């Protein structure tokens, strides 16, 4: 009996190794497709607006996501205001999980820097930054850089900032299973079209980079962190966020200057501002109302003319 149990354990271990260690094959309709073409996947340097008088909102998505995270806001803002919303695809993100595994958090940040530098150098004077989830620490990592010191940047908005993770989020990294399962599947129970816009696996290497980023951010926020005095800051936090601990949002309001405005939203969603990819079982009828309210608040905070 003991021999049989050992044999079953060995077989299970081999099965898990083969199943989870194999690189998932991403089909061409994931992260980008004909119905929702994402120019940033084909061309990360995709930058459109040439109207120097038009307000620019640079919207940055979170870890393992895509520009789909802000597609709804872009559509809304460009209909209801005179702002242009520039969607930024983080470095290493897109169709290739193989590339994602090899990139560092600094690589993820590079397109954000490039977008800010592009619009600043072109002469735009009314630039606003908005970052969801892991885009928050990426933006904060630029706090002392020359691109963030541009007088063209008028405001920064953080949505469900991933500063402090919920207790169980990183637990897998230190687990013995991390030596077996190198690409953690996260698509179980997700909506059918979820993998069109989000990675279905978290590579262990990418999770370690994310932890390195958040550890550095927490260390930086152990002391007051000054952003340019001319920049207005707002933090929007879902009260029941299952991924980002709301204490992270509180930490930002305590340590950042100028002092941010904090908006706590009654929601159980992470990145409550998107309906794309959300699990209907986790949502409530109020989520659509929260999204519309937040979009209007973003435009008011950026002080762009609304239609």
**Which pLDDT score is estimated for 255?**
98
Backbone torsions φ then ψ of 46, nearest 5 degrees? -65, 105
Lowest mean pLDDT among 67-71, 179-183, 204-208, 258-262: 179-183
Mean pLDDT of 39-61: 77
Name the percent of the chain lying above pLDDT 70.
79
Residue 61 Cα to chain centre, angstroms: 3
Which stretch of 93-102, 199-208, 260-269 has the lowest confidence by average pLDDT? 93-102
Domain presence at residue 307 = no
The pLDDT confidence band at residue 17, using thresholds 50, 70 and 90, is: very low
| More reliable by pLDDT, 58 or 283 | 58
Handedness of CA 12, 18, 22, 26 (dihedral sign): negative
Taking residues 270-298, report their average pLDDT. Answer: 88
The C-alpha atoms of residue 11 and residue 276 are separated, in whole angstroms, by 39
Asked if the structure places residue 306 within a domain, the reply is no
Instruction: State yes or no: pLDDT of 32 exceeds 90.
Output: no
Biggest CA–CA distance in the chain, Å, is 77
Residue 40 lies in a domain: yes
Q: What local confidence, expressed as pLDDT, does residue 292 receive?
A: 96
The confidence score (pLDDT) of residue 173 equals 77
**Residue 36: its pLDDT value, please?**
47
DSSP 142: T
Contact 113, 188 (CB under 8 A): no
171 assigned to some structural domain: yes
At 113, which CATH number? Answer: 3.40.50.1820
Q: Give the pLDDT score at 22.
A: 47
109-123, 238-252, 271-285, range with the lowest pLDDT: 271-285
- Is residue 115 assigned to a domain? yes
289 has pLDDT over 70: yes
User: Residue 42: what pLDDT?
Assistant: 61
| 88-97, 220-229, 255-264, 268-277: least confident range | 88-97
User: Quick check: 77 pLDDT over 70?
Assistant: yes
The arithmetic mean of pLDDT across residues 83-95, rounded, is 89
pLDDT single digits (tens) 200-217: 888 899 999 999 999 999
Looking at residue 183, its pLDDT comes to 80
Closest CA to 129 of 284, 307, 301: 301
CA-wise closest residue to 215 among 164, 258, 263:
164
The pLDDT value given to residue 6: 57
The mean pLDDT of 102-126, rounded to a whole number, is 94
Structural domain boundaries, residue 172 = 2-301
Classified as helix, coil or strand, 57 is strand
Domain count, the chain: 1
Average pLDDT, the chain: 85
Residues 35-63: what's their mean pLDDT? 75
Tally DSSP H helices, then E strands, for the chain. 9, 10
Residue 53 resides in a domain: yes
Closest by CA to 156, choosing from 235, 81, 54, is 235
Asked whether residue 251 carries a pLDDT value surpassing 60, the answer given is yes
Domain annotation covers residue 66: yes
Which range among 4-8, 48-52, 58-62, 67-71 has the greatest average pLDDT? 58-62
19, pLDDT greater than 50: no
pLDDT tens digit sequence for 129-185: 999 999 999 999 999 999 999 999 999 999 999 999 998 888 777 777 666 677 877
Cβ(304)–Cβ(83) below 8 Å = yes
Gyration radius from the chain CA atoms: 20
């Amino acid at each position: 009996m003991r021999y049989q149990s050992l044999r079953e354990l060995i077989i299970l271990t081999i099965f898990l190794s083969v199943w989870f260690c194999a690189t998932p094959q991403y089909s061409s309709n994931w992260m980008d497709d004909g119905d929702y073409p994402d120019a940033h996947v084909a061309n990360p340097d995709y930058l459109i607006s040439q109207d120097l008088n038009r307000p620019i909102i640079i919207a940055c998505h979170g870890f393992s996501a895509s520009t789909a995270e802000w597609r709804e806001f872009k559509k809304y803002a460009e209909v209801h205001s005179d702002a242009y919303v520039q969607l930024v695809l983080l470095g290493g993100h897109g169709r290739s999980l193989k590339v994602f595994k090899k990139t560092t958090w600094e690589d993820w940040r590079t397109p954000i820097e490039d977008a800010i530098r592009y619009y600043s150098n072109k002469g735009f004077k009314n630039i606003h930054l908005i970052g969801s989830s892991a885009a928050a620490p990426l933006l904060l990592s630029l706090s002392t850089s020359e691109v963030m010191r541009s007088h063209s940047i008028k405001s920064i908005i953080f949505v469900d900032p991933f500063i402090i993770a919920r207790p169980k989020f990183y637990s897998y990294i230190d687990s013995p299973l991390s030596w077996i399962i190198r690409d953690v599947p996260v698509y179980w129970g997700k909506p059918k079209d979820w993998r069109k816009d989000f990675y279905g696996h978290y590579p262990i290497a990418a999770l370690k980079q994310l932890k390195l980023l958040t550890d550095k951010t927490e260390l930086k926020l152990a002391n007051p962190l000054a952003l340019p005095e001319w920049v207005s800051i707002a933090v929007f936090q879902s009260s029941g966020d299952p991924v980002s601990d709301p204490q992270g949002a509180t930490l930002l309001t305590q340590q950042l200057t100028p002092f941010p405005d904090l908006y706590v939203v009654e929601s159980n969603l992470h990145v409550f501002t998107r309906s794309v990819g959300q699990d209907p079982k986790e949502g409530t009828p109020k989520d659509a109302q929260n999204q519309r309210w937040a979009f209007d608040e973003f435009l008011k905070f950026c002080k762009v003319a609304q239609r």
